[in-house]
Amino acid sequence: MPTVLITEPIAECAIESLKNKGYRVAFEYEENGPNYSTEDVIAVINRLHPINKEWMSQYPNLKIISYHGVGYDGIDLETAKSRDICVTITPGQNSLGVAEYTIALILALSKQLTSVTEDYKTKGYSSKYDHTSSEITGKTLGLVGLGNIGMRVANIALNGFSMKVLAYDPFIKKAPERIELVDDRNVIFKEADFISLHLSLNDKTYHSIGDKEFEAMKSSAFVVNCSRGAIVDQKALIRALKNGRISGAGLDVTDPEKCETDDPLLHMDNVIVSPHIAGSSNESLERVANMCVDNIEKFFEGGDLSGKRIV
């Protein structure tokens, strides 16, 4: 029976939709091991599970990898291309969730929200006098990357908090009104009070934020990353945080992807770390999963995809 393999949990509505369309749905993460024939797998819905040549070799009849999101850096595109396996993504479907989460991190950092609440639990009401906070209204937000998510963050910052917004994106020649597009990325790091990263991970962006960039930042500035962990040189970030070179960081992603419990980042009062959940609002998860299903259906029907085809 034609089988769609799901590598990690997705919205239940999409699973029901697949079943209603006549597909068998299998789950690679089931505790009792696989209960499906690998030869029946014709499509995969994948989130963050690495998909390399060896993994794909298990599924001789695989025709499409419907990626649950837009950051497809974990997929071996060359192997997919050589096997004529279609790879699709779901642009725009989780952008709002990630943008809101980015702003939430900015607010939490400026208000010292996590350290205040933790101190209240252990020290009691007297912790009131141990913390101060700062406002973000009127401050400068620097965006590295002005795609779908970056634009949403900019709009919230502009319209919700009257922030000054600087943006660097070599692929954009003109920015909307009130967003100042800069040609030199260093301007972002020198002038911004909050720097938010919205980049795809590739050979050029890997560890593209490191010692040089942190040295250029204001000591009062914060960096926020809801894109990919490996864009930041994590050792350089830890050095900057320990040395007081920057005030703090809000990270939804780390390098490696799974942050070990003894990682220094998890034990710093001025750092907020979450396990790559910025795009995991209920609404975003449903939109993304439904587009994954739609991409599979349209692919086998020969119609135009709702999402974007990479291979």
- Summarised one tens digit per residue, pLDDT across range 110-157 is 999 999 999 999 999 999 999 999 999 999 999 999 999 999 999 999
Structure tokens at 299: 């692919």
Active-site annotation holds for 83 = no
Evaluate if residue 29 carries a pLDDT over 80: no
Find the catalytic residue in 213, 276, 287, 297: 276
Neighbours of 231 (CB within 10 A): 22
Q: Kindly report the CA angle at 294 between 284 and 98, in degrees rounded to 5?
A: 20
CB of 85 closer than 8 Å to CB of 62: yes
So what's the architecture of 3-93+281-309 in CATH? 3-Layer(aba) Sandwich (3.40)
Evaluate if residue 33 carries a pLDDT over 70: no
Helix (H) and strand (E) counts in the chain: 10, 13
At 91, the pLDDT band (50, 70, 90 cuts) reads very high
Find the catalytic residue in 228, 245, 287, 297: 228
94, with CB counted inside 10 A (0-12, 13-18, 19+), is: buried
- Looking at residue 178, the DSSP 8-state letter turns out to be T
What distance in Å separates the CA atoms of residue 279 and residue 226, rounded to the nearest whole number?
9
What distance in Å separates the CA atoms of residue 75 and residue 13, rounded to the nearest whole number?
25
Active-site annotation holds for 267 = no
Evaluate if residue 298 carries a pLDDT over 80: yes
Predicted confidence at residue 35, as pLDDT, reads 73
The angle that helices 95-110 and 148-161 make with each other, rounded to 10 degrees, is 50
Q: Which residues contact 104 (CB under 8 A, 6 or more apart)?
A: none
Q: Which residues contact 10 (CB under 8 A, 6 or more apart)?
A: 45, 47, 68, 285, 288, 289, 292
Evaluate if residue 103 carries a pLDDT over 80: yes
**pTM of the entire predicted model:** 0.93
Domain 95-273 has CATH 3.40.50.720: yes
Closest C-alpha to 257, from 71, 96, 11, 54: 71
Domain ranges of the chain: 3-93+281-309, 95-273
- Looking at residue 51, the DSSP 8-state letter turns out to be B
Predicted confidence at residue 151, as pLDDT, reads 98
What distance in Å separates the CA atoms of residue 6 and residue 25, rounded to the nearest whole number?
7
Closest C-alpha to 309, from 81, 98, 50: 81
What distance in Å separates the CA atoms of residue 238 and residue 165, rounded to the nearest whole number?
26
| pLDDT averaged over every residue in the chain | 96
Active-site annotation holds for 135 = no
Structure tokens at 231: 């864009």
Find the catalytic residue in 49, 257, 286, 309: 257
- The predicted-structure confidence for 172-217, as pLDDT tens digits, reads as follows 999 999 999 999 999 999 999 999 999 999 999 999 999 999 999 9
Do 3-93+281-309 and 95-273 have matching folds?
yes
